[in-house]
Amino acid sequence: MAGGAGPPPPLLDAKGLTLAFGPRVIQRDLTFSVRRGSVFAVMGGSGCGKSTVLRAMIGLLRPAAGTVAVDGEDYWGASSSRRAEIGRRFGVLFQNGALWSSMSVAENVALPLQIFTDLGAGDIDALVRLKLSLVGMEAAGKRMPSELSGGMRKRAGLARALALDPDILFFDEPSAGLDPVTSKRLDDLILELRDGLGATIVIVSHELPSLFATCDDGLFLDAETRTAIAHGSPRALRDGCGHPIVRSFMERTRHDHPGQGGSP
Amino acid sequence: MTQANPPGWRLDLRGREVVVSLTGDWIARETGLRNIAEVRQALESLDAVRLGFDASGLGRWDSALVVFLQSLRAEVARQVPPLGLDESALPEAARRLLALAGLAGGSESAETVPPPPSLATRVGRSAFNWWGGGVAVAALVGETVLRSVAAFGGRARTRAVDVMQLMREAGAGAVGIIAVVNGLVGAILAFVGAVQLRRFGAGIYVADLVGIAMVREMAAVMTAIVMAGRTGGAYAAHLATMQGNEEIDALQALGIPVHDFLVLPRVAALVAMMPLLYLYACAVGLFGGFVVSGATLDLTPAAFWGQIQTAIAGRQFAIGLVKSVAFGALVALVGCHVGLKAGRSAAAVGHAATTAVVAGIVGIIALDALFAVCADALGI
Ligand SMILES: Nc1ncnc2c1ncn2[C@@H]1O[C@H](COP(=O)(O)OP(=O)(O)O)[C@@H](O)[C@H]1O
Ligand SMILES: [Mg+2]
């Protein structure tokens, strides 16, 4: 958690990753690595397979070929119980929060702690209150997910993702479906948390949220060729990538978010 | 991962400043949380005006430390006169988190009132309370089974509170409709029987007909069909909705076994509720038959109930109870299976519900036929 010096080895290392549903290949031959403490962006238009790549990293979809290594350990080669153990270092914020609808917000955050720790009820309560207060939701702990707005649902999902103090946070489209103000607030919150928690972050998005300004590295997926067509931070891609698809993606998003297109 | 050093703190008075020295690893999962109460006592015994920190001995830390610091903050603010607080010696990241947690952010007020339950649900609930004793026993049996499963498999993720909630939903809401259906079935049996048997002057045997048919077959089958329509369909729709909402993914990403967490409680709830509902259905069905045979034949109540008692052996109830348990498990398993296999679209939810109801009803009838064959072969 406390930052260390020296060149850190990659926390996530994907090699030759090919993802498919049955015979239908979604993305092939992806190779990338995520450095410890960095913010990594998976970019590309809607439907190009970003969420699918994410699912391969969090244990929901076995790759058709290739490997993912977490801290040097082969993630998909491990037994399923070992994989679940590694997965407990991950916190995932799904696209719509994916809160468990039959439980209150506080119960959602408490469940991972109840299941995977030996902590008593009082300690779990204290941790749940902390996580909810980190995302500004301490007043809404008793509410059911159906009573929350989209932005609150994402913040609650974020609190749940933080429940086990993860080393890696995955975000699927954090700003999709939110109004610009709420979306900006969520982005700021994520950055605050990154600085506070020292976690590594992987963000999947089809738009260019303000968050991208701080991404250290990234991957640009293309639906047409079904593979990555560019590597590098969004900033570098915006300024220096000659690929027409990448260029038009960056131009479009700059157009959509005039405030964030940024300095030359 | 390295072995965690136990977390610790020490208070030193330097001049009029208390210094809290933090040592060891503060990792919630590994070392738990530290209680603030001892710090409070120690603080009260010291005569200080400021509180500072020394984090030079601090190892790894996570939320456990932040929770501790947060309650320390609250403690410091409560002192009279309030202490000055100097957090500059804390790790930068911890100060950021404290600041973030301290913001009274986005506090829309919490309480919302759920809509009042429908009349049928209220009737069902009061009947359910009336059964309190029986349900408590069933819950105990259920939990025992779960605990033993847990002990057997090492670690089950089934929560007893889920099972209780599901039992309430499955039982309370169904009481009214089960009464109507089984009362009418009992009445129809009596009516058909009366018309036929009266011609032979054997009207009294209507009681045998209604009794055996209800207890052995109809109460269990009709109740199971009602449960397939209400609860099996609801399970399928619920799990399909969870699928579309990525809730199942969220469970799997955490490594929470979907079977333990979603399927087992539902099976347990229905297996526990069905025998109770079956007995209730028997009572209502027999009563329906009694009313109709009283009206169409000149049977006295004493003659009817006397005849029923000679007609139905305990064995018939045993067969009915076994069936009701099997049907309960079938309905829950079919509902969960269909729901978990559903696609991720909104249309998939409706489709899953329909499929579960149809498959449930067909399954109940087929299973009942199987029971009939087996009972015949065994001569019971
Ligand atoms: N469970 C699935 N089965 C079959 N195809 C799928 C499944 N999930 C996603 N797909 C397909 O994979 C492609 C990529 O989907 P996705 O990763 O969700 O895209 P993105 O997140 O980039 O918008 C889409 O064409 C989608 O239809
Ligand atoms: Mg997606």
pLDDT, tens digit, for every residue of A124-163?
999 999 999 988 888 999 999 999 988 899 999 999 999 9
C-alpha A40 to ligand 2 mean position (Å) = 16
What is the per-residue pLDDT for B314? 85
What is the per-residue pLDDT for A170? 94
Question: Cβ atoms within 10 A of the Cβ of A221, count?
Answer: 24
pLDDT of residue B115 exceeding 80, the answer is: no
> Average model confidence (pLDDT) for chain A?
85
Cβ-defined contact of B247 to A59 (cutoff 8 Å): no
A31 within 8 A of A15, measured Cβ to Cβ: yes
Q: Are strands A10-21 and A24-35 parallel, antiparallel or unpaired?
A: antiparallel
Mutate to test the pocket of ligand 1, among A24, A52, A92, A175 (most ligand atoms within 8 A of CB): A52
Contacts of B297 (CB under 8 A, 6+ apart): B194, B198, B203, B204, B206
How many Å separate Cα B150 from the centre of its chain? 17
Long-range contacts of B243-247 (CB under 8 A, 24+ apart): B243/B339, B243/B340, B243/B342, B243/B343, B243/B344, B243/B348, B244/B342, B244/B343, B244/B344, B244/B345, B244/B346, B244/B348, B244/B349, B245/A96, B245/A98, B245/A101, B246/A94, B246/A95, B246/A96, B246/A98, B247/A98, B247/A99, B247/A100, B247/A101
B251 within 8 A of B210, measured Cβ to Cβ: no
Mutate to test the pocket of ligand 1, among A17, A21, A30, A96 (most ligand atoms within 8 A of CB): A21
pLDDT, tens digit, for every residue of B13-67?
888 888 899 999 998 888 888 888 888 888 888 778 888 899 888 888 888 999 9
How does residue B184 score in pLDDT terms, banded at 50, 70 and 90? very high
Q: How close is the nearest chain B Cα to the Cα of A190, in Å?
A: 11
Q: Write out chain A residues lying below 8 Å of B109, CB-based.
A: 139
> Average model confidence (pLDDT) for chain B?
84
Residue of B nearest to A115 (CA): B157
Peptide bond into B81 cis (omega under 30): yes
Cβ(A27) to ligand 1 under 6 A? no
3-state secondary structure string across B45-72: HCCCCEEEEEEEEEEEECHHHHHHHHHH
Residue A50 alpha carbon, nearest atom of ligand 1: 22
Predicted ipTM of the assembly: 0.87
Indicate which ligand has the atom closest to the C-alpha of A223.
1
Topology of domain B8-99 in CATH is Transcription Regulator spoIIAA (3.30.750)
What is the per-residue pLDDT for B108? 41
pLDDT, tens digit, for every residue of B330-341?
999 999 999 998
What is the per-residue pLDDT for A129? 93
Structure tokens at B37: 């109460």
Indicate the residue of A60, A126, A195 with minimum beta-carbon distance to B253: A60
Segment A65-75 shows an average pLDDT of: 92
What is the per-residue pLDDT for A66? 93
How does residue B123 score in pLDDT terms, banded at 50, 70 and 90? low
What is the per-residue pLDDT for A80? 86
Q: Could you state, in order of their start, the residue ranges of all structural domains in chain A?
A: 101-165
What is the per-residue pLDDT for B111? 37
Q: Could you state, in order of their start, the residue ranges of all structural domains in chain B?
A: 8-99, 119-378
pLDDT, tens digit, for every residue of B268-306?
999 999 999 999 999 999 999 999 998 988 888 899 899
Q: Which residue has the higher pLDDT, B173 or A146?
A: A146
B:263-322 residues touching chain A, CB 8 A cutoff: none
Segment A23-40 shows an average pLDDT of: 92
**Hey, is the C-beta of B62 within 8 angstroms of any chain A C-beta?**
yes
**Hey, is the C-beta of B160 within 8 angstroms of any chain A C-beta?**
no
Cβ(A226) to ligand 1 under 6 A? no
Segment A52-61 shows an average pLDDT of: 93
B33 within 8 A of B1, measured Cβ to Cβ: no
Cβ-defined contact of B93 to A193 (cutoff 8 Å): no
Specify the 3-state DSSP secondary structure of B90.
coil
What is the per-residue pLDDT for A70? 92
